Structure 1
């Protein structure tokens, strides 16, 4: 595992993968590799212009024409529902990758705090609505991208909308913890109901991407951008834990993969241990129930 590279990924011909946030960063790198291995790749992107540029690049670099742009705004449940309703193919891989980080206090179209709304609730709803398409595939996987930042997270059930207090980084940490709680609870439900689907999580370590672009603090953005460029590993390496979780035959549901170097900051993917709060089943069940209530999305056969 520690020597994993994209060369180890078998042919994905005949499979369909959906990658959210596939127009840049880790999502683009993930989509490039999946397309190079022959998968049908659906690029779930909010910005059509950037999505078209990513689609053209992937088709050119991989020679795979079966790469399709589909518009998806995770900050809008209407957009999520429309995307899922238009899904015609069975889905073998759902890569819940898109995210925002440490943004100013904003809300989604449905009134959710933006970071929780995009990073967790949008993907929660998307996964539930795509469950019929996932079940049509012989052995589908749901891979959700978290972050080392989950270690500093806690779920503020008393103020999920951040109306009392908003601290950008603590809300980012919360959303990344929510990604793990959702993954582990989803996999528990898959197992309890005899499903063949797997729910797996990954994190990229310290990777140079454009995730900081949502900030509107110029000084902080300049410092962080320089720090990431100087010390962060390349996006192609940062995508390896996600690709391993999505394709390696030895992966089991409920596992979490990240870089194997010191501090999990960089390196080849290995099985990693999440922070203790991510393993609390009571918190996970409560978050599931709250997410269901907020989004109105249920998971048929898993509730």
Structure 2
């Protein structure tokens, strides 16, 4: 597998994506970083700031809206040269109504966290524009975070139909907690990545959680009380109790996942135990069903029903 020299990061104008771009630029072997952004003004502001901070003019902008597969396809169609690695970082809670269905038939939260990224990877592979590594921003929520009151997703059959019901939101109801939707969505994505690793053995597919990270925009669209807790109370108190860490730590997990070969293809790495911080471990040691090939393939098939 060739050394990683060019990287595309989705959601790169702020938070973890921007910090990952900054850290990667400090590695001599990295020659080009594509900032995948939805907003052009914010993209150019991030590019200018990153050039000033790193002293390197290696940043290019690719405009794409990860919640819109058509936007993603257009962005890939405009690419003129291969990319070694992609960091599938864009995500969050899917706007003010995460359960609202997009024109693709999936919920907003599923569209931005999973469907857009699946389309991006498939398009890059189809055009032979991806040479080395795919890293997906996973979450400890996919196997539950007891210390934060986030239950492990409950699957009855792990069938294609059940995963499709997560994608289109029919598994949930109006009273479902947005964090429940988020946990299920991140579980589907981790399984999809493992299936892709088996289907494309020449490409490395690593799911890496950035962990509980302060300074991100991911919780901006939560209901007011939850947003207040996570962003204004949690960011102050949770680090004191070892429940959250800074942007630099979360982004470094991405960089390590990309550049350190000890992180194996098809694996989902996140913090151990019931916390979203601390050393990362292979999550199959916590939840064995993550290693079930049939479940993985079912998740991938469900995603492609909407792609």
Offset at 1:158?
6.1
Aligned mates of 1:76, 1:235 — CA distance in 2: 27
- Identify the match of residue 90 of structure 2 among 95, 98, 106: 98
Aligned mates of 2:248, 2:67 — CA distance in 1: 27
> What's the counterpart of residue 18 of structure 1?
8
Aligned mates of 2:127, 2:184 — CA distance in 1: 29
> What's the counterpart of residue 86 of structure 1?
78
| Cα distance change, pair 228–133 in 1 and its aligned pair in 2 (3 A) | farther
Tell me if structure 2 keeps the 8 A contact 1:96–1:145. Answer: yes
Tell me if structure 2 keeps the 8 A contact 1:44–1:70. Answer: yes
For residue 219 of structure 2, give the secondary structure of its aligned residue in structure 1.
helix
What's the RMSD between the two structures over aligned residues? 2.3
Tell me if structure 1 keeps the 8 A contact 2:163–2:188. Answer: no
> What's the counterpart of residue 115 of structure 1?
109
1:189 to 2:199 alignment: yes
| Cα distance change, pair 86–227 in 1 and its aligned pair in 2 (3 A) | same
| Cα distance change, pair 130–158 in 1 and its aligned pair in 2 (3 A) | closer
1:239 to 2:254 alignment: no
Tell me if structure 1 keeps the 8 A contact 2:133–2:204. Answer: yes
Offset at 1:204?
1.6
Offset at 1:280?
2.4
1:285 to 2:297 alignment: yes
> What's the counterpart of residue 217 of structure 2?
210
Tell me if structure 2 keeps the 8 A contact 1:259–1:267. Answer: yes
Q: Under a length normalisation based on structure 1, what TM-score does the superposition of the two structures give?
A: 0.83
> What's the counterpart of residue 146 of structure 2?
none
Offset at 1:150?
0.3
Aligned mates of 2:128, 2:252 — CA distance in 1: 23
- Identify the match of residue 227 of structure 2 among 217, 221, 225: 221
Offset at 1:270?
4.8
In structure 2, the gaps of 5 or more residues are 144-151, 239-243
Q: Deviations over 1:239-268 (max 9, x none)?
A: 2222111001333212233346x6452235
> What's the counterpart of residue 277 of structure 2?
266
Aligned length: 275
Alignment of 1:142-161 (within 5 A): 142-151=134-143, 152-153=152-153, 154=155, 156-157=162-163, 159=165, 160-161=167-168
For residue 242 of structure 1, give the secondary structure of its aligned residue in structure 2.
helix
- Identify the match of residue 200 of structure 1 among 187, 195, 206: 206
> What's the counterpart of residue 141 of structure 1?
133
Aligned mates of 2:252, 2:187 — CA distance in 1: 20
Tell me if structure 2 keeps the 8 A contact 1:206–1:228. Answer: no
Q: Deviations over 1:159-184 (max 9, x none)?
A: 34224624222211111001110111
| Cα distance change, pair 230–281 in 1 and its aligned pair in 2 (3 A) | same
Aligned mates of 2:35, 2:69 — CA distance in 1: 18
Offset at 1:214?
2.3
In structure 1, the gaps of 5 or more residues are 1-11, 296-303
Aligned mates of 2:188, 2:58 — CA distance in 1: 33
| Cα distance change, pair 120–34 in 1 and its aligned pair in 2 (3 A) | same
Most deviating of 196-205 and 155-164: 155-164
Q: Under a length normalisation based on structure 2, what TM-score does the superposition of the two structures give?
A: 0.82
1:175 to 2:185 alignment: yes
